[in-house]
Structure 1
């Protein structure tokens, strides 16, 4: 009986040694799928804190997903784009100012701009013509009640119709009315 136990023990040890002696080949595991994170524009800081990709899409009809902020002196800027595409591009600029409504109208409002009611102390809208690789540009500018000068500028791709850009000014006015420029 002791001999039989030793033989079984030796057999088990031989099997274990044979299985452990050879290294197993690595198993190919596919890499995990990239995780898509829905980042908010506000995470870029600066003037981007005033923007929300979903709200922009609701008004302008384009889903932006990249935002970048910049700050120079009293001016805060946010540029939003859709992925790697250069256009369309929406730019928000907010600058602290001490100008009054009369000065805004006389010195800031561009020629051929239309007056906008119900936005800040004074406001305008305009559509600039296509130029080079850039399509028409829709722009809304306003003197906010809290001493801030703000501009929303929507640059379109070259093949955009001027009437479509003009319609965008209405969307920009609605978007501008939702922005609290004091939050910068």
Structure 2
């Protein structure tokens, strides 16, 4: 997979350090945004995310490094499922995005930013299967949204989550204008 190394580094650092320590919990069923966690969490709202994905995420951790902002949402007390959002400023166009950023095995998503893709992600390491959606927003930002399930989760659950994550991505894209 071809990626933006900075975005991957920021996501890896954020996910590796995400637990209840230092995270900003929200009340269960809260409709308040996760924005108080900083980073890309300013684009997420627990109520919206949970309604779209059918999850109960309530802990947020945000970070920023250079021009990349990240956010991880998790359920209290567990590592998975988790939702990771990364946003990086860019000067590239849709052609460069398709050639250099979008993974070769991804499927294009119509109606998401200037160019968008979706793909299932296999279980790896301590994480179960998941979904990745990425796009080049109209405001010159590369945005990646990924959902990972717990180890042992059937691949079909991740496959069933693809359209839900795409719909969430479309809502995030509208809020990032």
Please confirm whether the aligned pair reaches a TM-score higher than 0.5, indicating the same fold: yes
TM-score by length of 1: 0.76
**Residues 145-164 of structure 1: matches in 2 within 5 Å?**
145-164=138-157
Question: Does 2:92 match 1:99?
Answer: yes
Structure 1 runs of 4+ off > 3 angstroms? Answer: 36-40
Q: Please name the residue that 1:90 is paired with.
A: 83
Q: Please name the residue that 1:130 is paired with.
A: 123
Which residue of 102, 121, 127 corresponds with 1:109?
102
Q: Please name the residue that 2:63 is paired with.
A: 70
TM-score by length of 2: 0.79
C-alpha RMSD over aligned residues: 1.4
Shift of 1:117: 0.3
Matched residue pairs, number? 147
Distance 1:40 1:51 in 2: 6
Question: Does 2:53 match 1:60?
Answer: yes
**SS of 2:56's equivalent?**
coil
Q: Please name the residue that 1:169 is paired with.
A: 162
Distance 2:126 2:37 in 1: 27
Distance 1:178 1:41 in 2: 15
Distance 2:41 2:64 in 1: 11
**Residues 31-70 of structure 1: matches in 2 within 5 Å?**
37=27, 38=30, 40-70=33-63
Distance 1:166 1:99 in 2: 30
Shift of 1:133: 2.3
Distance 2:156 2:117 in 1: 17
Shift of 1:65: 0.5
**1:94–1:181 Cα contact (<8 Å) kept:** no
Unmatched 5+ stretches in structure 2: 1-25
Q: Please name the residue that 1:8 is paired with.
A: none
**SS of 1:48's equivalent?**
helix
Q: Pick the structure with greater CA Rg.
A: 1
Distance 2:143 2:120 in 1: 16
Question: Does 2:176 match 1:181?
Answer: yes
Distance 2:170 2:33 in 1: 20
